[in-house]
Amino acid sequence: MHKTTLLTGLLLTLGLGTAVQARQTTVLDLPVVQVKDTTKVLVDSVEFIPVETDELIQDRLSCLEQEIPLEFNKQVRGLIDYFTIRNRKYTRRVLERKPLYFPMFEQYLAKHGMPDELKYLAVVESALLPKAVSSAKAVGLWQFMTPTANDFRLVQNHYLDERMDPEKSTEAACKFLKQLYRMFGSWEMALAAYNCGPGNVRKAITRSGGKKTFWEIYPYLPKETRAYVPSFTALVYALNHAEDHNLYPAKVQMPIAVDTLLISQPLDLKLLAKQLNLPEDHIVNLNPALKLKHIPENVSNFPLRIPADVRPFLADNRMAILDSARYVAPYRAPARTKLPALQEVPATILAKAEPALPDSSTKSFYHVRPNDNLSKIAKEQNVTVEQLKAWNKIKGNMLVANQKLVLFKPESSVSGANSKEAAKTETTLLASAEDLGTPAGKHAGPDAEGMPKENAASVAVTSKKAPAKKPEAPKLQTVHHVQPGDTLWNISKRYNNVSVEQLRKANKLKGDELKPGMKLIVG
């Protein structure tokens, strides 16, 4: 894991990753006057900024040192001056947040039997901002990258990122740091590995000829990591001796007592805060791991943090409050899908989508008369507008007088056909719906006549010769070939004597879905 923390990235930008002489430090480029070489006075702000000697700082560090070495050198001195002189605003803001997070850090470090001073690492990483995101996409108080967060089971999904959960990320950071300490046997080396990854530390050890301490492998580490451990030491000093450098927080953020509410419904956190008479973003701020300002649907038993002092009021009015704060997703109109005109369909698809011609049909022609239109002609000729367009390759709806249109009709419906001619020609019968798709002629013979009429569909069966006795002409049924854009409703309107329910029943349809090329019995 090699990540750029918010602080070390800034230090590198300012060129503070290497040695900086204490006496050369300026204060935000404002004019200064020297007073007995012990303090500097900002002329513009009249702020007293002590400048301590190396000996005094070294003595203070030795008093602070516990389990983790706090070595003093020119790199550390330069960074101490940065936090106490050049960027006092940064240090003040950290001092404001320190009471909010340090007690919790101390509890987790004690639980894992780790050095208390590791709590200052979160300052190096994120300046104690739970929603901090670095340029390398490290997130949270402890700046976890996604792969490392996954290793320690920090959940990341569309609404939740537990890298921003103060307690869960602190637990994961303790486990990770303990793992690194076992790997390298030194807290300074563990800190370096936390920043640049164990692999880069091992490479630095190899390049150094097998050295085992941070300062021995210092020249072989990535540039950012060289500033990382000195920054840690400098912040331990600056935050413990802030008052000695005239640094005080403008306002202190104190932790509040919280309770947990298990939520299994969509919930708007701003509305909930309003119902509980809290500031609008109060509950949002108590739950920084939530990426949204609401809990979405299909979430079960989400532990929502709320102020402990509102729990009694919530307990008495729970159902009413949660119902009033229910999250309702904003309405989004469904996307409209433009159906392509018949002419826009590719030829390979068009061949399949075109209505099939009747198995036995007669081609005829119709000459367009003045005031004719496609709907009128289709109704007169007992065909559909879509069929007329397909047969005649008509793009729009415009017709021209005397235009010749091609029509195809079942031979049995051609006017003037007598019973003898009908007997000599093939007679179209309808097989049962169970036999849709079976080859024509499968049921040819005496059994074909016994097929139930109510189950009729459009599979053609042919009789080659009429019997000597004139047979009773089979009752023909009207069949509609489904076109792109057809629905049961508009088909029912086209054939006045049939309803949508009748169409479903006659064709054994369970739903309303139609596909181009389907054959429907419509009468």
Rounded alpha-carbon distances, angstroms, from residue 390 to 351, 494, 514: 11, 18, 19
Contact between 418 and 377 under an 8 Å Cβ cutoff? The reply is no
- Cβ of 112: how many Cβ atoms within 10 Å? 14
- Alpha helices per DSSP H over 363-516: 374-381, 385-392, 419-424, 488-494, 500-507
* Helix, strand, coil shares, percent, the chain, to 5: 45, 10, 45
Residue in 288, 257, 281 with CA at minimum distance from that of residue 128? 288
Distance CA 242, CA 83 (A): 9
Query: End-to-end distance of the chain based on CA atoms, in angstroms?
Result: 73
Distance CA 170, CA 157 (A): 19
Which residue among the candidates 125, 162, 171, 188 is catalytic per the annotation?
A: 125
Q: Which helix (H) or strand (E) holds 302?
A: strand 302-307
- DSSP for 37-73 reads TTEEEETTT--EEE---HHHHHHHHHHH-SSS-----
Residue in 2, 25, 22, 4 with CA at minimum distance from that of residue 13? 4
125 flagged as catalytic: yes
Residue in 504, 458, 499, 452 with CA at minimum distance from that of residue 479? 458
Cross-strand pairs, 305:
260
**DSSP letter at 511?**
S
Rounded alpha-carbon distances, angstroms, from residue 23 to 85, 234, 354, 400: 11, 17, 89, 97
- Residues designated catalytic: 125
